[in-house]
Structure 1
């Protein structure tokens, strides 16, 4: 495992404090023996593993590489940032963001493995909780990596290669890539064990039993195990720990810290000292009135056409149009007296607000990984695929009612022009979960194409990325293959 563990000489830790704060950056090269054998240090070491997820190399790339390949966004110009290649599907074998995500992900996995090897299950409830939390982190990272570097589960998971499954610390190992099926099996095993061990009442900044069940629901949905996906989503919904925020509060959902939001199940918690300003996730989506942020990635015309079908949709509040200003600083008007939308390189400026303005800081956000609305939509999709149309539409209608669309609900006798219940569910997922790293994966795992027929820097107009295309996945970082010849590169074409 040289290429994975060479980044850490020891266990990644944060400075030990009574609260095990996630607000401090981890540091490396701590002598292992004293830490691993000292039970009092295990909570701090676990906090260090959470902090590795918060590191920009993981968080920024997880959310950008997961969202930018979708048809919900439009990049308005070329950039030297590697995000350009994730957006255009012009993937490189030495792409900076893939290397960063890979290295930081496996750094977190290794940190979890070091602890899991020394923490005895059953020693105490507190130790069981820590084991569960580290299992959740390990599962989440493996899930993040396999959907980035491995093909969708619906496409020959027994033979397609995913990523190395690392569950033991061995600095001399040279692991091969496991199959997609094997990676998902390990994710399920880790989350199943984690949910059995955790009974805590932690905030959404930490792993909990409910978070493990929620990630299991998503994992099973990706695997096509619809019965299990529905069961776990239902368990989270009916447990009653979380509730959908009220319609009136929905526009402010992402401006609140995750710990002040009853709908959020798990998020990567950020405070003011974690604000990465220009390097934040939101900086590509939004420019504040004070000029903070690049504001170069906009909501696509494709997405706007869908949400604009119903001007009453409260979720339109997550978009902000920018109008062209005249010399007096006022909104410019066309010959008919309509405001003129500003453009960048011919792409209309529609800012995306889901990663901005937490606590009134333009670039601050605690990006949400799992939330209750997704559970309703997982249950809906699973039921649609199992032929339980009425149940599927009922869950869609819960989400639509919250979004202010109570007068536009679906029923078997009123499909509003849709050909199937699955089509209804996928469009509702697109509306509700936009920009949260779901859309491209939703299309590809359902054997559907990404289609871009709107302005942007995509290499062709229109651009179609077929679900069978080699570029559906990113390349394994070339630097990793040079260090470990057992790693096989994804096909070039």
Structure 2
């Protein structure tokens, strides 16, 4: 008998329990028997709930922080204790197994989603509401499979190049649950073809109404993901069309006041949220907790990572985001106090979710938000040489955030402004390293705000990474290479 464990943790190999005894097979209390787990629409609902619970565990935190500390916009503090140090230092400090948990978690999710997609076809729904519900659960499963494969691709493959994608290494591509399968890596084009195919099914079947702060994949969430994917594969027209549809719907207006923008990040207001994962007092989410390190009793902060002076200076004083994404704090680093140091304050914790006097860093995890969509529209239009549309999207974002509109830009100058604005809007959301990879750019890590408060040695401040560095593409875990001899490791690992 094959059972899928509802905990949805660990590698795919551990998610499937094969149990037997001489007289009867017993299904564990935390598992569903594949053969009997798909009888009714209610069964599908249970699977759907488990799938979203798994997604809750696969956003923010360790799915966001590695690529942020690997980049150019943070310095390790003197008290960072080597937490996430391998990511930050690159070179020989960084090895493929540092990323194994993310790889295995996404593939375990794919194993369960593949079971769901196949199992849902066994369910007979009556016409009307039951059919609509079942179709929505099917749409969610296809959307989730597309989401997981895209998240794997941005981490473990080269940036998508339409001229080479048919031969570039993609990910092992599995669309059915098979414990014995040992697939080779598909081409990157084949992976994104599968993503687009799943997206098409999700779009055709999803019946959910669009609401701000949605907790599930609505039709707008699917469209937001389509815009993200098509930007990644350089389908500029497709990315612009999807993004512009969301923008012109008017359902998610940009905040244009400091109070409004602060409410979005600090207390989880919903105006800009296309889809989010909520935290509650009893249901927690992963947190981006490395940026503050509040020592509550002393009213000082001991963060693992401090934003560089360079990234702080990239925000004009008129930019509403500067005093929302950052805040000046009193630091205590190795026993020394430093006043008025800018720290990342984008994820401060919602006071309504505190379980003690001090923050637990719990905030709603933002899966799709309209700020990203404006950035996608601007970049896609710029790549289409449609300067007017690019400036329209760019200036809508800029002026909402308190900056002046730009005019008369084209070519390289327009591209530069579009990239700079995307970076300012999405900083610390987990995109920047992948954007550098997409744009074919290396970096030199920025200047420290307070040199004495950060790690001074080689490989920290001033680290220079070439665009060609192979470790922009993460390595496949050693265990997977051993278990599956058909896999090929990425270069440089």
Q: What's the TM-score bracket when you normalise by the shorter of the two chains?
A: 0.7 to 0.9
Provide the TM-score with structure 2 as the length reference.
0.83
Partner of 2:393: 395
Distance 1:422 1:206, change over 3 A: same
Deviation digits for residues 41-88 of structure 1 (CA, Å, limit 9, x no counterpart)? 2112111111112226x6422211332222222222586766222222
1:151 is the counterpart of 2:161: no
Say which is worse superposed, 27-36 or 43-52, in terms of deviation.
27-36
Give 1:303 shift: 0.9
Secondary structure at 1:118 match in 2: helix
Asked if 1:435 corresponds to 2:456, the answer is no
Which residue in the other structure is 1:312 paired with? 318
1:262 and 2:268 correspond: no
Q: Would the alpha carbon gap of residues 441 and 275 (structure 1) be closer, same or farther in structure 2, given more than 3 Å must change?
A: same
**Structure-1 residue corresponding to 2:217:** 207
Distance across 1 between alignment mates of 2:105 and 2:82: 18
Match of 1:167 among 158, 162, 175: 175
**1:214, 1:370 within 8 Å by CA — same for their partners in 2?**
yes
**1:419–1:110: structure 2 CA closer, same or farther, 3 Å change rule?**
closer
In structure 1, the residue matched to 2:486 is 486
Contact 1:451–1:463 under 8 Å retained in 2: yes
Structure 1 residue aligned with 2:260, among 237, 249, 268?
249
1:451 aligns with 2:453: no
Secondary structure of 1:387's counterpart equals coil
- Aligned equivalents of 2:486 and 2:11: distance in 1? 13
How far, CA to CA, are the matches of 1:423 and 1:230 in structure 2? 18
CA distance in 1, matches of 2:79, 2:302: 13
More moved, 42-51 vs 243-252: 243-252
Shift of residue 212, structure 1, vs aligned partner? 1.1
Task: Indicate yes or no: 2:287 matched with 1:284.
Answer: no
Report if the CA contact (8 A) 1:195-1:208 is conserved.
no
Gaps of 5+ in 1: 12-26, 326-330, 333-339, 343-348
Which deviates the most, 290-299 or 223-232? Answer: 290-299
Please state which structure has a larger fraction of its residues in strand.
2
- Taking structure 1 as reference, are residues 225 and 77 closer, same or farther at Cα in structure 2, changes over 3 Å only? farther
What residue number does 2:114 align with? Answer: 113
**Which stretch shifts more, 134-143 or 448-457?**
448-457
Kindly indicate whether the alpha-carbon contact (under 8 Å) linking 1:284 and 1:296 is maintained by their aligned counterparts in 2. yes
**1:117-160 deviation digits (Å, cap 9, x = unpaired):** 02239951111100111111111111111111111113832222
Structure 2 segments unaligned to the other structure (5+ residues)? 1-9, 19-28, 126-130, 449-453
Question: Structure 1 residue 274: deviation in Å?
Answer: 3.8
Who is 1:16 aligned against?
A: none
In structure 2, the residue matched to 1:335 is none
Contact 2:318 2:402 in 1 (8 A): yes
Structure 1 477/294 Cα, relative in aligned 2: closer, same or farther at 3 Å?
Answer: farther
User: SS at the partner of 1:401?
Assistant: helix
| Match of residue 406, structure 2, among 398, 406, 410 | 410
- Partner secondary structure for residue 154 of structure 1: coil
